[in-house]
Structure 1
Amino acid sequence: MIIPPKSQLSGHRKHDQRSALVDVDGAIPRGTISSFMKHDRFEEILIFLQFNNNLEVETSSDKARKIRPILQAVERTFRWGYRLGKVVSFDEGMMPNRSKFNSMSIFMPDKLSKYGTKFYMTCCADTAYCAGRKDLRDTLGLGPKAVLRKISKALANRDTKRLLVTDSFNSTVSLSLKLLEMGLYHVGTTRTASQFQFTQKKRPKSISRGFYRIARARDHPGLVALSWMDSKLVNMLSTGCSTLPTNVLRTKKNGTCTRVPCPRLVDDYDHGMGGVDIHDQLRLHTTAYRNVSHYAINGYILHRINLERNGEKLPTHAEYLRRLQIQLLALRTIHFETHMNSEDLVSRPVPRQLYTLENTEEYYSSSKQHKRRQYLCKVCSAFSDANTKSFETSYD
């Protein structure tokens, strides 16, 4: 179930006059769950619920084999539902779970939810839309290999001219060069040798804040290494990013803000690295009955984009969850037995029209050429077979 942040289950146990409206139109109306089955019965079914065959040998080592088809279906929906922007953020995410029976539970002190299952997430830096996530099944998913596997799935049969932003755990020289061969630019922080200990933990007074040095690889001119002095020393790798001087906003301990000089690639990193963090913040407002609902966050992001494009009023996160919950509870058996076509989703009949491609009238200009803006046709992608490649064209 999807529960809005201000409508918790505890409100339905009250019987005073102030909570009368909450009992009727709250997170879960009174009598909804008990009309189908008891809570203990539901918990017993979840213990033995699975969607895969235990006799398959290739899935015997997969800890999530019972729900693997569900995860694969969700990942396919994420990739088809949205076209990633020009900046893609790759980082680790956490699914909160403190159960002692969770064999994949780890501790990450830097995350909002410190205990739970770790996921690699690929999100759009502008809208925080999640294009896919993958749990830790084996050691092959760590570091740069996980980046290559996830970005290859998220951008399958799509334009690869994008900037990928990673943290220090996933950034290596080999990853930057491999992504450059795939047509992707990369920027990320790097780690220093853990065995080496600096004599000074903080910035020396002799070095001003904002001082930086840039080095370019001799054999690979597109690879740039940066050493930038913020409050601490920051080391970064970049391919395809600008090194022109600019400045970023930093907040001091007393609350005042100051401008710190830096190259352009530092600004690109600060702008793009927040995609997964914003998605984690949105997931804190969604409680999916002891689980975290990624698809509800993606639906909320797409809903806001559609309303903003039509000039309509944007709902809050709680209003969207309440509306979605009411629509889900209104579903009956007849809704699953009928064919969900366009006529079933609207109040008035929709006339059928022939599908034809129309040339777009949008153009973009660069320093070298003037071309039409290209889009990916959703209808052609939905009705094409597995052997057909879906490329972006100037028709939609």
Structure 2
Amino acid sequence: MAQQRFSAEQVAEMLFADSEENEIGSDPDRFDSEEEDQIFHGIDPFEDLNQETAEQPGTSAEPMTPTTRPFPSSTASAPPAACRSRFCPRREPGVQLDTSVEQSPLGLFKHFFSADSIRTLCANTNKLVERNIAAGKRYKWTNINPVEMFKFIGLVLYMGVLKLLAVSDYWKRKKNISVNFPSTVMSRDRFRAISWNIHMSDPEEDVVNDRKKQTQPDEYDTLFRLKPLMTEIKAACQSAYHPRKQLSIDERMVATKARTGMTQYMKAKPTKWGIKLFVLADSSNGYTCDFSIYTGKSRLASGLGLSFDSVVELMRPSFLGSGYHLYCDNFYTSPKLFRHLLSLNFGACGTIREGRKDAPKTKLNQLPKKSPRGTLRWIREDDLLFTKWMDNREVAMCSSVHVAYDGDTVKRKQKKRDGSWEEINIPVPKPIVDYNIYMGGVDLSDQLIQYYSVQHTTRRWYRTMFFHFIDIAVTNGFIMYREIQKLRNTPANQLTTHRAYVEHLVAELCGVTVGAVPVQRENWAYTCANLHSSYTAEV
């Protein structure tokens, strides 16, 4: 599944600029699967301009080809019921913390990694070390406390900002090029010992759960080792921020090749091997509102498919409210799902695969293979709109919140008979316009995470997920920090950058003064003197 990418400038604009219509295109890189790439370039059927035809479900508009005449500003069909329903969020959208007081990066991070979570993490880590030492493993250990745990996380974040080839490189001394900060916070051996033993669940309860895998497989919990921290992170994501009206759902891969029943291979993803997450994100800024981890076939499956169950699990009225619009790719889109979401007072829009169950089977809506660019067809069944549009290829969409056409156009280049190129405007369906704007929420979140990700190789899959939870906490904290700055009318040229935010957080976690120069090691002057003498000898 190809992942949409943004430039740094686009990320900044999408994070905190008001919703603006981006350039509408049919670049296959915007599509989220190979199947979608095959059908995605033929999007929306055109809403019939004849009012009588538009009122009859199951009819198709005549194809519209690009012309130089002006396009109508709206169509005769009324929007579906979900479009007319009120947007009633459970809480006021935006940051839910007290924005009247100054929020520091550390304060925002502690909302996700609370004092209770850190104490539990320390207690379970100490228990695991005791068990390992009793089993014969040899290494020095003193019980870790919350202050030291925060310093460990701070160093992990530091390594995400300043990337070296190996962890040991951060503590090298007898090299001409070395870094000074990590050794002032923690010794190398101590950092390694914590990394090898970090544990989120109670080791004694792990043993009980592991036995169930053989004796009581129905009661075995695959995610047991993650649950204590994962539950806290998910609750914090939901309590700290309430999303705006447009949401997107997509998969996220956390890189690992661990031999677990959860490890997935997705050849179209940049990260091909890993643990798959289903992520619900705010389309306006990429905030991770909720997520679920794919563990294989579920015992609680509804029988309607993985795509149906994963969306229903994340789109909960008890958390969101009603009136939200969800954007998804063709892995999720189905008439059954969209009708179920309508029953929950949620609208939805997404690309749809040809031959999807319960989709219209009529040939009246088919586009000829050689249809000119801008040709549009549509069919409405009850509250669902099925559209097709010809760009470079045919694109198919399904929506419960749109009219087929609202007067939007997109610029394309076409070759004239004399060999020169001209720019033309072709009509583009409304579902595609909004899909291109709002579908990128999870991709934006993924890109922000990757800038300063703390992921590194571990021997246990659950430690890989621990580092990903840190990534979620830091990225969500940064998004909230910028949202708070916007509420305070901070000038654009004074907004905190992503790197500055992470550096500030590293300093606070490690207990050093922000912007202070760390104390140099004793042998630093000796190293510099040797370096100078070597240059003098060469001259």
TM over 0.5: yes
Q: Which has the higher strand share?
A: 1
Q: Which residue of 2 aligns with 1:168?
A: 330
Q: CA deviation at 1:157?
A: 4.6
Q: Which residue of 2 aligns with 1:350?
A: none
Partner of 1:228, secondary structure, is strand
Matched, 1:125 2:280: no
Q: Which residue of 1 aligns with 2:472?
A: 294
Q: CA deviation at 1:115?
A: 2.1
Q: Which residue of 1 aligns with 2:17?
A: none
1:178–1:36 CA distance, 2 compared to 1 (3 A):
same
Is the deviation greater in 261-270 or in 61-70?
61-70
State the alpha-carbon separation in 2 of the partners of residues 258 and 91 from structure 1.
33
1:182–1:260 CA distance, 2 compared to 1 (3 A):
same
Q: CA deviation at 1:109?
A: 3.1
- Contact preservation (8 Å) 1:4, 1:285: no
- Contact preservation (8 Å) 2:262, 2:296: no
Q: Which residue of 2 aligns with 1:216?
A: 380
- Contact preservation (8 Å) 1:4, 1:321: no
Q: CA deviation at 1:250?
A: 6.3
- Summarize deviations over 1:140-198 as a string: whole Å, max 9, x none: 3820111011111xx4254311111011000100111111111111101111249xxxx
State the alpha-carbon separation in 2 of the partners of residues 256 and 33 from structure 1.
63
State the alpha-carbon separation in 1 of the partners of residues 411 and 315 from structure 2.
30
2:387 to 223, 226, 250: 226
Q: Which residue of 2 aligns with 1:354?
A: none
Partner of 2:326, secondary structure, is strand
Partner of 1:118, secondary structure, is strand
Q: CA deviation at 1:307?
A: 1.3
Matched, 1:90 2:268: no
Q: CA deviation at 1:44?
A: 3.9
Q: CA deviation at 1:117?
A: 1.0
Size of the aligned set, in residue pairs, is 309
- Per the normalisation by structure 2, the TM-score is 0.52
State the alpha-carbon separation in 2 of the partners of residues 258 and 285 from structure 1.
38
1:259–1:327 CA distance, 2 compared to 1 (3 A):
farther
Q: Which residue of 1 aligns with 2:516?
A: none
Aligned Cα root-mean-square deviation (Å): 3.2
- Contact preservation (8 Å) 1:4, 1:322: no
Percent identical across equivalent pairs? 22
State the alpha-carbon separation in 1 of the partners of residues 413 and 261 from structure 2.
40
- Contact preservation (8 Å) 2:161, 2:452: no
Equivalent position amino acid for 2:158 in 1: I
Q: Which has the higher contact order (CA 8 A, sep 6+)?
A: 2
Matched, 1:113 2:275: no
Matched, 1:239 2:400: yes
1:147 to 311, 333, 337: 311
1:268–1:4 CA distance, 2 compared to 1 (3 A):
farther
1:261–1:191 CA distance, 2 compared to 1 (3 A):
same
1:167–1:283 CA distance, 2 compared to 1 (3 A):
same
1:250–1:75 CA distance, 2 compared to 1 (3 A):
farther
Equivalent position amino acid for 1:146 in 2: S
State the alpha-carbon separation in 2 of the partners of residues 14 and 173 from structure 1.
62
State the alpha-carbon separation in 2 of the partners of residues 84 and 77 from structure 1.
13
1:30 to 162, 183, 203: 183
1:261–1:146 CA distance, 2 compared to 1 (3 A):
same
1:245–1:185 CA distance, 2 compared to 1 (3 A):
same
Q: Which residue of 1 aligns with 2:496?
A: 315
Q: CA deviation at 1:36?
A: 7.4
- Summarize deviations over 1:70-98 as a string: whole Å, max 9, x none: 1111111111111111100011111122x
The structure having more radius of gyration, on CA atoms, is: 2
1:178–1:320 CA distance, 2 compared to 1 (3 A):
same
Equivalent position amino acid for 1:316 in 2: T
Unaligned 5+ runs, structure 2:
1-155, 357-366, 415-420, 457-466, 513-539
1:322–1:104 CA distance, 2 compared to 1 (3 A):
same
Partner of 2:292, secondary structure, is strand
Q: CA deviation at 1:3?
A: 3.2
Q: Which residue of 2 aligns with 1:7?
A: 162
Q: Which residue of 2 aligns with 1:272?
A: 438
Q: CA deviation at 1:101?
A: 3.4
Q: Which residue of 1 aligns with 2:62?
A: none
1:192 to 354, 363, 384: 354
State the alpha-carbon separation in 2 of the partners of residues 125 and 110 from structure 1.
22
- Summarize deviations over 1:372-392 as a string: whole Å, max 9, x none: xxxxxxxxxxxxxxxxxxxxx
1:43–1:328 CA distance, 2 compared to 1 (3 A):
closer
State the alpha-carbon separation in 1 of the partners of residues 423 and 190 from structure 2.
56
| Residues 330-349 of structure 1: pairs in structure 2 closer than 5 A | 330=511
Equivalent position amino acid for 1:175 in 2: L
Q: CA deviation at 1:289?
A: 4.3
Equivalent position amino acid for 1:241 in 2: H
Equivalent position amino acid for 1:237 in 2: C
Q: CA deviation at 1:207?
A: 1.0
- Summarize deviations over 1:342-367 as a string: whole Å, max 9, x none: xxxxxxxxxxxxxxxxxxxxxxxxxx
Equivalent position amino acid for 2:201 in 1: Q
Q: Which residue of 1 aligns with 2:505?
A: 324
Q: Which residue of 2 aligns with 1:378?
A: none
- Contact preservation (8 Å) 2:248, 2:326: yes
Q: CA deviation at 1:268?
A: 1.1
Q: CA deviation at 1:311?
A: 3.0
State the alpha-carbon separation in 2 of the partners of residues 316 and 257 from structure 1.
38
Matched, 1:104 2:255: no
Partner of 1:224, secondary structure, is strand
1:257–1:108 CA distance, 2 compared to 1 (3 A):
farther
Q: Which residue of 2 aligns with 1:79?
A: 238
State the alpha-carbon separation in 1 of the partners of residues 265 and 413 from structure 2.
29
Equivalent position amino acid for 2:483 in 1: I
Matched, 1:137 2:292: no
- Contact preservation (8 Å) 2:327, 2:348: yes
Partner of 2:220, secondary structure, is coil
